[in-house]
Structure 1
């Protein structure tokens, strides 16, 4: 049983070594500007657990650490650095001592991201009050605003529903000016879900509509033509030939005379 378990662990570690791009397994990049520590941390733990490497993050170096353990620790540590923003990499490396373990790197990241809630709240609040839509879709724009409001609430900076709606309106693209005024003047002010649905409907109405087959067929008809359909080309040719049939009988007569003469 022990040999079977050891073989399974070795197989998982071989698969971990073969991972060339950790972002293919963990697409979330930890960034203090986005404040996405929770989804990042969850995906990190799921991935290291998949390869039976969670002890490298959750526990210190075992007393009887093998050479393989140190090798795999370097791999997991490289995964951490490969999934955090560049500016955060620089800060964490400055905090880490030379030869630091994955566990030490994990704690350094945690300290930088979660260790100063007051500064995080101040930074996120400033972003919340200046964020604009730009070219973002309404779905992503509203989701991002709601996410910032939720994180501020976790940092003991509660955002009221009214403040959330007014900031969403403030940062909207100018093409939503009409619906923005309608939402702003509504009494009572619409809820987040109601305002988002109204904006989604407005965005849908703005989408360019493609020509339907019936429209394309209609545009191909000559409205100024007679109600009778024009004759097919081969009929026109035959009619043109009959128009020149005035010379037809004389041609036949010449042929008959020639025949008699023969």
Structure 2
């Protein structure tokens, strides 16, 4: 979502340098380096304002450019990918209907977990989703 936001405002190159050449491609390629710095600071503010305070305290550096903050944030999530996948896998496998107030919240939770697993590179097949859905049902 953040990359989409940056593309819409023509500042994607502040976090992904070769993604799309725009007026702000790099400070050395534009007429107004002050404008480039201003846009970079705005992108950095966006990054900082869209993450939790704990995460902000982990990545913040007043001397950073937006790309530095973005890369630090990206590295943080990619380095935790395996641990996150294990945690999500355990939740997915242990989700049972009896823990919910009906079938709809149960199915919604399984869908959210499956989507989260896909986001960390562990896609849940339709067969596996159906199997887990049935396995978590109660006798009733």
Scaled by the length of structure 1, what TM-score is found?
Answer: 0.39
Gaps of 5+ in 2: 19-24
Deviation at 1:86, TM superposition (A): 2.9
Larger radius of gyration, structure 1 or 2? 1
Distance (Å, rounded) in 1 between the aligned partners of 2:103 and 2:35: 48
Aligned length: 124
Alignment partner, residue 6 of structure 2: 48
Distance (Å, rounded) in 1 between the aligned partners of 2:133 and 2:88: 14
Secondary structure in 1 aligned to 2:51? Answer: coil
Larger RCO, structure (CA 8 Å, separation 6 or more) = 2
Structure 2 CA distance for partners of 1:137 and 1:156, relative to 1, 3 Å? closer
Scaled by the length of structure 2, what TM-score is found?
Answer: 0.67
Alignment partner, residue 68 of structure 1: 35
Q: 1:88 aligns with which of 46, 52, 55?
A: 55
The answer to whether 1:117 aligns with 2:81 is yes
RMSD of aligned residue pairs (Cα, Å): 3.1
The answer to whether 1:181 aligns with 2:135 is no
Deviations 1:194-229 (CA, angstroms, capped at 9, x unpaired): xxxxxxxxxxxxxxxxxxxxxxxxxxxxxxxxxxxx
Alignment partner, residue 147 of structure 1: 112
Gaps of 5+ in 1: 1-42, 170-179, 183-262
Distance (Å, rounded) in 2 between the aligned partners of 1:91 and 1:164: 38
Check whether the contact 1:152–1:158 (CA below 8 A) recurs between aligned residues: yes
